[in-house]
Chain A
Amino acid sequence: MTSAATLDAAGPAGSGPGSTGELVFSAWSAVSPFGTGAEAYSAGLRSATSAVGALDPEAYPGPYERAGLVDGFSAAAALGKKGTRTMDRVTALAVSTVGELLERCGSSLLERPERVGLVLGTGSGSVQSIMDFTRDSLTGDRPYLVDPARFPNTVMNRAAGQSAIWHGIKGPNTTIAGGWLTGLLALGYAARLHRGGHCDRVLCGAAEEFSVQRAWLEWHAAEEAARPPLGEGGAAWLLEPGDEARAAGREPLARLLTTRFRAYHRPQDAGPALTECVRGALAEAGVSGGAVRLVAPLGAPGEEYAVLRALPAGSDPEWIRCRPLLGDASAAATGFQLAAVLAAAGDGRPAAGELSLVTGIDRDGTVGCAVLAR
């Protein structure tokens, strides 16, 4: 673990003299059921109309009748035929999302590509790719009669690795997996990566694909009463020191104050764990809960009550609820929530100096939050 004393110190080749050491979000984008790009995502949130639709039962013969799909998305359609023949869906979603983000960052971002990190959250990688490859090996004439070009799709870091190769990002490349909290965990990791001096700026995000295989896994993992339609897509943002963002002509949208995580054992302890987690995060950041004006929760039972309990009595923040609009995006869910907060920031919400929270409760015993300041 990094000691507290080094947390605020700039790394060896990190932020230069005069840097406040504080990281800001200075660009973001998303490829979501609302469409491709930040504008489509912002417009979708503003309309507050759900992008969850009926699934074609022939194309997706699974347990769910509805899902939030990125309409018409395929690797070849989004990225061209060259180099995408054996690229699976989650990889293509990640490569596209990072591409959209890079476009918003401007071409100067990759002038020193080895100083730009990429931290990407995923689920197990693509469960479809893993299952298809394994089945081919078991059902083919020989166990090794598989398509070797599809093997890279079966490892978890395929999406992050391919995103970097495709776009020429040569800094540290990290894959983070942590269920629903993936986007928050990736954010926390990205901030530590930067503080450690391993890169000058970090592209960070999360991606998830819809497939029949994932649908069955989610179906069996979920409680019978809690099986929201699934969603998919990717969200990503740029983290960099505020002064460097301004020097590059990128206006900071929000400052990252902190991320925090906590574990719980019994399901009934999840809410209190999140309350403690949010209280701890606000205290660590040295800010008052009264300044929280915007919350983007995951959508877990009891989550909103748990957040409110961490805030002063009478707090009435705006809630941006992504799950009803996009479906349960699993590994991309908290990434979508962060993007929603950044979209609101682009619209001027909340006011300068006020705070936004992104929260989540994972069914496997963890809770987490991020505190952002405008």
Chain B
Amino acid sequence: MPSTVVINAEQRAQIKEIVCDILEIEPADVTDTSLFKEDHNADSLGAIEILSSLERTFNAEIDQAELTRMVNLDGVVQVVEEALAK
């Protein structure tokens, strides 16, 4: 299903803040494509935390199957956009 919602800059910053807070990394170290697991030592609980925090922040429902796509910031933004479009 094509996305009909586009995350704005403010929301994107909000997502980045959530990710950085949970993975305990400096925002400057995270790029749109740096990998949470390989580049930032994220573990599976960290991934679940990010998903859960996004659900609460954006009042959206994100299926756990989407975790496989939430490997970097771009991936997370895309998943949130699709969740908001539903």
Q: Contact residues of A with B, CB < 8 Å?
A: 81-83, 85, 140-141, 145-149
Which residues on B sit within 8 Å (CB–CB) of A149? 22, 45, 49
Flag whether B86 is at the interface (Cβ < 8 A).
no
- Sample of 4 more A-B contacts, CB < 8 Å, known A141-B59, A145-B55: A81-B24, A85-B22, A148-B45, A149-B22
User: What are the 9 closest A-B residue pairs judged by CB atoms, nearest first?
Assistant: A149-B49, A148-B48, A148-B52, A145-B56, A148-B49, A82-B24, A145-B55, A149-B45, A147-B52
Across the A-B interface, how many residue pairs have beta carbons closer than 8 Å?
22
Contact residues, B1-40 vs A (CB, 8 A)? 21-22, 24
Question: Smallest CB–CB gap between A263 and chain B, Å?
Answer: 41
- Contact pick for B24, options A83, A141, A146, A147, CB 8 Å: A83
With both beta carbons as reference points, the residue of chain B lying nearest to A150 in the complex is identified as B49
Which residues on A sit within 8 Å (CB–CB) of B22? 85, 149
Which residues on B sit within 8 Å (CB–CB) of A146? 52
With both beta carbons as reference points, the residue of chain A lying nearest to B51 in the complex is identified as A148
Q: Contact residues of B with A, CB < 8 Å?
A: 21-22, 24, 45, 48-49, 52-53, 55-56, 59
A145→B56 CA distance, assembly (Å): 6
Which residues on B sit within 8 Å (CB–CB) of A83? 24
Secondary structure class of chain B's binding surface, majority of residues: helix
With both beta carbons as reference points, the residue of chain A lying nearest to B49 in the complex is identified as A149
B59 touches A147 (CB 8 A): no
The residue in A85, A140, A145, A148 that gathers the most chain B C-beta atoms within 10 A of its C-beta is: A148
A147→B56 CA distance, assembly (Å): 9
With both beta carbons as reference points, the residue of chain B lying nearest to A147 in the complex is identified as B52
A66→B22 CA distance, assembly (Å): 36
A85 touches B21 (CB 8 A): yes
A147 touches B55 (CB 8 A): no
A87→B17 CA distance, assembly (Å): 20
Which residues on A sit within 8 Å (CB–CB) of B52? 145-148
B48 touches A85 (CB 8 A): no
Which residues on B sit within 8 Å (CB–CB) of A85? 21-22, 24
A85→B45 CA distance, assembly (Å): 14
With both beta carbons as reference points, the residue of chain A lying nearest to B61 in the complex is identified as A142
With both beta carbons as reference points, the residue of chain B lying nearest to A141 in the complex is identified as B59
A373→B52 CA distance, assembly (Å): 54
A146→B59 CA distance, assembly (Å): 13
Q: List 22 A-B contacts (CB under 8 A).
A: A81-B24, A82-B24, A83-B24, A85-B21, A85-B22, A85-B24, A140-B56, A141-B59, A145-B52, A145-B55, A145-B56, A146-B52, A147-B49, A147-B52, A147-B53, A148-B45, A148-B48, A148-B49, A148-B52, A149-B22, A149-B45, A149-B49
With both beta carbons as reference points, the residue of chain B lying nearest to A84 in the complex is identified as B24
A145→B57 CA distance, assembly (Å): 10
Question: Smallest CB–CB gap between A108 and chain B, Å?
Answer: 29
Which residues on B sit within 8 Å (CB–CB) of A145? 52, 55-56
Which residues on A sit within 8 Å (CB–CB) of B48? 148
A340→B39 CA distance, assembly (Å): 48
Which residues on A sit within 8 Å (CB–CB) of B49? 147-149
Question: Smallest CB–CB gap between A169 and chain B, Å?
Answer: 20
With both beta carbons as reference points, the residue of chain B lying nearest to A82 in the complex is identified as B24
A81→B21 CA distance, assembly (Å): 11
